[in-house]
């Protein structure tokens, strides 16, 4: 089920704004450049060419250029700044780019010797290409009389076709190009009736006629905003990852708690099973293995000194026997224990207590035999 956010909480992305200026305000030239040049080098060559072509200083011009990497020509367009009122210039502040209308279609795919006619309410523009993948060779703009008749429009059309040069392919659009604001990518797409042109952010910056220092400042601001945006996305991703790990840990703790609950619930039954198993093993051991008290006594008595007399012997397990004895000579107690430890079938000998009573040394030994000690022992 999707949750629908109220309108007040929805984030809206502002529509892109590109200002298209009247073509008649600009003069255009084709400038030769080095095919191996970089975009900054082409921009420098364009500035030098404009200083020689224009009667005005470069600082008094709004200018831009179009250039495809690897080609030998750049198309330059410029306008005197005072032709634009201050109020109009102020409206450019929030625009992504400001360029003449015809420049929005300079990156369209054309065949050789093609002319594009762009009609507007006040003028007709002819953009002429000689080579398919190069910059146009000319742009001719003719304004209409205040109230043009049909005959006047036809006359202007023939005039601009003649001035733009011979052409094989003619494309004609009765509507000015507009920016496609529905596309979601990073590119800028301009469309008219007969043409469409796509620009990257860097290409659109070349076409922008505004002050170049201001554009450089805007590029730095865009780069800074991009870095901040990526940092924000990284923080959000880290937060989501942390929340996911926390959810995994909480789920793991709940699973472990449920598992331990099951273990605790089953522990009494497991203890009963374990007790029954141990009891069965003991019963099986008693059934298959019998105590050998006589073999134990026989093995021990072989090492007994002459002054030692047994008082009592007790077999406590299959391999353990307790001996209570007396020795007339106290040194025989240690000799007896050492002799028992030296037997191959003896695992260990422990002395629990030893005391002297009426001149006799009374002591207790706990002798533990190895499991295989009675294999070769005499059978009773």
Confidence (pLDDT) at 359? 77
Q: How confident is the model at residue 223 (pLDDT cuts 50, 70, 90)?
A: confident
Task: Report the half-sphere exposure of 120 (CA within 13 A, side-chain side).
Answer: 19
Q: Per-residue pLDDT tens for 236-291?
A: 999 999 999 999 999 999 999 888 888 888 888 888 898 888 888 877 766 666 77
Q: What angle do CA 294, 300, 305 make, to 5 degrees?
A: 135
Taking domain 293-369, whether its CATH number is 3.40.50.300 is answered by no
Residue 99, burial from CB neighbour count under 10 angstroms (0-12, 13-18, 19+): buried
Q: What is the 3-state composition of the chain as percent helix, strand, coil, each rounded to the nearest 5?
A: 40, 25, 30
State whether residue 127 is helix, strand or coil.
strand
Strand 61-66 to strand 123-129: parallel, antiparallel, or no bridges (unpaired)? unpaired
64, 50 Cβ separation under 8 angstroms: no
Nearest Cα residue to 343 out of 359, 321, 326: 321
Q: Per-residue pLDDT tens for 66-122?
A: 999 888 899 999 999 999 999 999 989 888 899 999 999 999 988 888 889 998 888
pLDDT at 178 over 80: yes
CA dihedral for 158, 161, 167, 170, sign (positive or negative): negative
Q: Per-residue pLDDT tens for 5-56?
A: 455 444 444 568 899 999 989 999 999 998 889 988 999 999 999 988 888 8
Provide the terminal-to-terminal Cα distance of the chain, rounded to the nearest Å.
Answer: 86
State whether residue 52 is helix, strand or coil.
helix
Mean pLDDT over the full length of the chain: 84
Task: Report the half-sphere exposure of 162 (CA within 13 A, side-chain side).
Answer: 7
pLDDT at 3 over 50: no
| Cβ neighbours around 36 below 10 Å, total | 9
Q: Which residue ranges make up each domain of the chain?
A: 15-210, 216-288, 293-369
Query: What is the C-alpha separation between 207 and 210, in angstroms, rounded?
Result: 9
């Amino acid at each position: 089920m999707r949750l629908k956010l109220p309108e007040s909480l929805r984030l809206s992305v502002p529509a892109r704004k590109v200002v298209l200026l009247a073509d008649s305000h600009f003069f255009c030239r084709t400038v030769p450049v080095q095919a191996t040049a970089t975009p900054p080098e082409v921009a420098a060559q364009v500035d030098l060419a404009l200083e020689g072509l224009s009667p005005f200083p470069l600082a008094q011009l709004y200018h831009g250029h179009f250039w495809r990497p690897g080609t030998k020509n750049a198309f330059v367009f410029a306008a005197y700044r005072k032709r634009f009122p201050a109020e109009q210039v102020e409206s450019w502040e929030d625009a992504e780019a400001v360029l003449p209308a015809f420049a929005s279609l300079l990156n369209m795919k054309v065949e050789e010797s093609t002319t594009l006619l762009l009609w507007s309410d006040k003028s007709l523009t002819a953009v002429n290409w000689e080579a398919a993948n190069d910059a146009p060779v000319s742009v001719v703009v003719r304004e209409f009389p205040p109230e043009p008749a049909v005959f006047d429009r036809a006359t202007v059309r023939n005039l601009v076709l003649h001035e733009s040069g011979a052409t094989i392919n003619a494309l004609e659009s009765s509507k000015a190009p507009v920016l496609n604001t529905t596309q979601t990518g990073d590119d800028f797409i301009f469309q008219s009736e007969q043409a469409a042109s796509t620009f990257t952010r860097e290409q659109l910056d070349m076409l922008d006629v505004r002050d170049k220092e201001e554009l450089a400042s805007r590029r730095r601001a865009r780069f800074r905003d991009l870095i901040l945006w990526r940092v924000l996305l990284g923080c959000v991703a880290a937060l989501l990852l942390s929340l996911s790990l926390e959810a995994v840990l909480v789920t793991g703790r709940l699973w472990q708690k449920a598992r331990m609950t099951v273990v605790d619930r089953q522990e009494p039954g497991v203890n009963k099973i374990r007790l029954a198993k141990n009891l069965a093993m003991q019963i099986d051991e008693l059934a298959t293995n019998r105590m050998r008290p006589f073999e134990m006594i026989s093995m021990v008595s072989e090492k007994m000194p002459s002054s030692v007399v047994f008082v009592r012997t007790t077999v406590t397990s299959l391999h353990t026997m307790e001996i209570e004895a007396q020795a007339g000579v106290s040194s025989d107690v240690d000799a007896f224990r050492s002799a028992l430890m030296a037997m191959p079938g003896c695992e260990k000998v422990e002395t629990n207590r030893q005391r002297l009573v009426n001149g006799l040394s009374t002591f207790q030994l706990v002798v533990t035999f190895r499991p295989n000690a009675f294999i070769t022992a005499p059978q009773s």
